Amino acid sequence: MKKSCSRKILVIGLVFLFLGASATLGSANLAWSDNFDSYANDQYLEDGSPGDGGWQGWGIPIDPTAGAYVRDDQYHSAPYSVEIATTTDLVHLYTGYTAGVWEYKLWQFIPTDFTLDTYFILLSDYDGSGAAPGCVWTVQLGFHGATGLIESQLVGPSMPFVRNAWKKISCIIDLDTDWLQIYYDGTLLAEHAWTDTVQGTGTGGTLKLVAVDLFSDTGSIVYYDDISLDVPTTDLEVFCGGPYYGDVGEDITFTGSATGGTPPYTFEWDFGDGNTATEQNPTHNYTAAGTYDVCLTVTDNDGQNGTCCTTAIITGTQEPVIEIGTITGGLFKVKAVVKNTGTGAATNVSWSIDLAGGIILLGKATPGTIPTLAAGGTATITSKMIVGFGKTVITVTAGTATKSQNATVLLIFIKTP
Ligand SMILES: [Ca+2]
Ligand SMILES: [Ca+2]
């Protein structure tokens, strides 16, 4: 037992030697990432050990009650993500990030029923104390369930966060020029000097990144996945917004964007209902309720493609309502007005004009179809030539509507009251 422990220590020591040597070769060698897929489901990450991926509960000594569970309830990469629950204050420490340009990137899932507050935090100093100068917060994004807004400290509440979808948070950290840019779902949320910290402009920040903190300050559960710290990517990345919500027939504006690759970009949307668009931010409406898969494919100037898919959730009971208006006679013919008093378009409305009673020599029955009848629209239907004698009853049907009208036929003239 003792022997195997010392062998482990020897291996760890060699790994550190290798890391120490490679760190001087170039910043890319420092790249770190965690997709949470190598752990066991429901594994608890709290003690900072290699088996916990270095994740630990906030505090010196480490607070094991502030750890987090690996879950398969949601994931950006299958099968797992990390669950940040009410008591979570999960920290990962980093060393060597003291110069160069870095991207801290992670994917976040905020459930529809999320309440209260949860935070994504980066620190330039960390001693577990929970106070400056031992701990200095450089990025602090608060996701506030009450307002639905993201608050970037130093900047204040700004854009809404998105529920029920995986969204990328990206921090571009330039430790050479002392600049920080924070992006949410491809949109610039805030930018300021890295050393302008949450404690205030020009107070306490140092040109290094030493820790991330995933902190739920009473907030309900959120998830993170595919967290990385690496040189900024230049790969083409596509953002398609969503999920989108709307009623049948309601115009929805879809928002697309792209980063990386070689601009300019071309955009092609597939709305999942057979319709497409080539604008960056098109407007579209759906004719039936349901959940549609919406995909945006972006092609850059080098012909490189990227795709982003989301959903459009369409609700509503917008249906056509067919009614029959005035029935009128005249020379040879009966006319009737068919109205759509509903909120949705009608298609292929079957109709008929039938005469019963009297002696009808010609035109006893006329069937037909109205191909489309828009909401609020009217159409006039006309019978075939009618010739006959005597009192009759005209019955008009259209869709499920029926209306009858007494009339008198005098050879070629149909008299209605
Ligand atoms: Ca553990
Ligand atoms: Ca994963």
- 143 CA from centroid of ligand 2 (Å): 21
- 81 CA from centroid of ligand 2 (Å): 5
**DSSP tag of 232:** P
- 38 CA from centroid of ligand 2 (Å): 9
Q: Which of 346, 390, 380, 385 has the alpha carbon at shortest distance from 366?
A: 385
Domain count, the chain: 3
Counting residues of the chain whose pLDDT is more than 90, the rounded percentage is 77
Asked if residue 14 has pLDDT above 70, the reply is: no
Ligand number with the minimum distance to the CA of 55: 1
CATH number for 353? 2.60.40.10
pTM of the model: 0.65
- 140 CA from centroid of ligand 1 (Å): 26
Ligand number with the minimum distance to the CA of 46: 1
Is residue 120 located within the same domain as residue 200? yes
Query: Is 11 inside a domain boundary?
Result: no
Ligand number with the minimum distance to the CA of 223: 2
- 71 CA from centroid of ligand 2 (Å): 9
Instruction: Give every CB contact of residue 73 below 8 A, 6+ residues apart in sequence.
Output: 81, 83, 223
Is residue 281 located within the same domain as residue 404? no
Is residue 178 located within the same domain as residue 297? no
- 85 CA from centroid of ligand 2 (Å): 17
Is residue 128 located within the same domain as residue 44? yes
- 69 CA from centroid of ligand 1 (Å): 9
As beta bridge partners, residue 244 has: 312
- 121 CA from centroid of ligand 1 (Å): 22
- 83 CA from centroid of ligand 2 (Å): 11
Query: Is 18 inside a domain boundary?
Result: no
User: Which of 315, 332, 361 represents a domain boundary (last residue)?
Assistant: 315
Least confident of 21-35, 77-91, 373-387: 21-35
- 179 CA from centroid of ligand 2 (Å): 30
Q: Using DSSP bridges, classify how beta strands 305-315 and 244-247 pair: parallel, antiparallel or unpaired.
A: parallel
- 74 CA from centroid of ligand 2 (Å): 9
pLDDT at 16: 39
pLDDT at 215: 97
pLDDT at 216: 96
Band of residue 364 on the pLDDT scale cut at 50, 70, 90: very high
Is residue 71 located within the same domain as residue 106? yes
Phi/psi for 8 (5° steps) reads -60, -45
Is residue 154 located within the same domain as residue 206? yes
User: Which of 230, 263, 287 represents a domain boundary (last residue)?
Assistant: 230
Task: Quickly list DSSP for 267-304.
Answer: EEEE-SSS-EE-SSS-EE--SS-EEEEEEEEEE-TTS-
- 52 CA from centroid of ligand 1 (Å): 5
- 35 CA from centroid of ligand 2 (Å): 4
Query: Is 13 inside a domain boundary?
Result: no
Ligand number with the minimum distance to the CA of 35: 2
As beta bridge partners, residue 290 has: 314
Band of residue 11 on the pLDDT scale cut at 50, 70, 90: very low
User: Which of 315, 331, 350 represents a domain boundary (last residue)?
Assistant: 315
Highest mean pLDDT among 196-210, 236-250, 271-285: 271-285
- 70 CA from centroid of ligand 1 (Å): 10
Q: Which amino acid is at 334?
A: V
Is residue 145 located within the same domain as residue 67? yes
Band of residue 53 on the pLDDT scale cut at 50, 70, 90: very high
- 56 CA from centroid of ligand 1 (Å): 9
- What's the whole-number mean pLDDT along residues 112-134? 94
- 239 CA from centroid of ligand 2 (Å): 19
The answer for 9, left when phi > 0, alpha when psi is -120 to 50, beta otherwise, is alpha
pLDDT at 198: 86
Query: Is 6 inside a domain boundary?
Result: no
Query: Is 395 inside a domain boundary?
Result: yes
Asked if residue 104 has pLDDT above 60, the reply is: yes
- What's the whole-number mean pLDDT along residues 337-350? 89
Asked if residue 372 has pLDDT above 50, the reply is: yes
Q: Which residue has the higher pLDDT, 263 or 255?
A: 255
- 79 CA from centroid of ligand 2 (Å): 6
**Residue 291 domain boundaries:** 237-315
Is residue 71 located within the same domain as residue 135? yes
- 47 CA from centroid of ligand 1 (Å): 6
- 229 CA from centroid of ligand 1 (Å): 22
Per the CB < 8 A criterion, the answer to whether 172 and 191 are in contact is no
Band of residue 204 on the pLDDT scale cut at 50, 70, 90: confident
Task: Give CA separation, 310 vs 108, 222, 281, 294, 334, in Å.
Answer: 15, 19, 14, 5, 52
Average pLDDT, the chain: 90
Is residue 87 located within the same domain as residue 109? yes
pLDDT at 28: 52
Query: Is 330 inside a domain boundary?
Result: yes
Is residue 87 located within the same domain as residue 206? yes
- 168 CA from centroid of ligand 2 (Å): 14
- 162 CA from centroid of ligand 2 (Å): 19
Is residue 193 located within the same domain as residue 72? yes
Ligand number with the minimum distance to the CA of 166: 2
Is residue 181 located within the same domain as residue 64? yes
Ligand number with the minimum distance to the CA of 224: 2
Ligand number with the minimum distance to the CA of 109: 2
- 146 CA from centroid of ligand 2 (Å): 28
- 319 CA from centroid of ligand 2 (Å): 42
Query: Is 377 inside a domain boundary?
Result: yes
Helix (H) or strand (E) holding 6: helix 2-22
pLDDT in tens, 270-299: 999 999 999 999 999 998 889 999 999 999
Query: Is 62 inside a domain boundary?
Result: yes
Ligand number with the minimum distance to the CA of 52: 1
SS3 sequence of 331-374: ECCCEEEEEECCCCCEEEEEEEEEEECCEEEECCEEEEEEEEEC
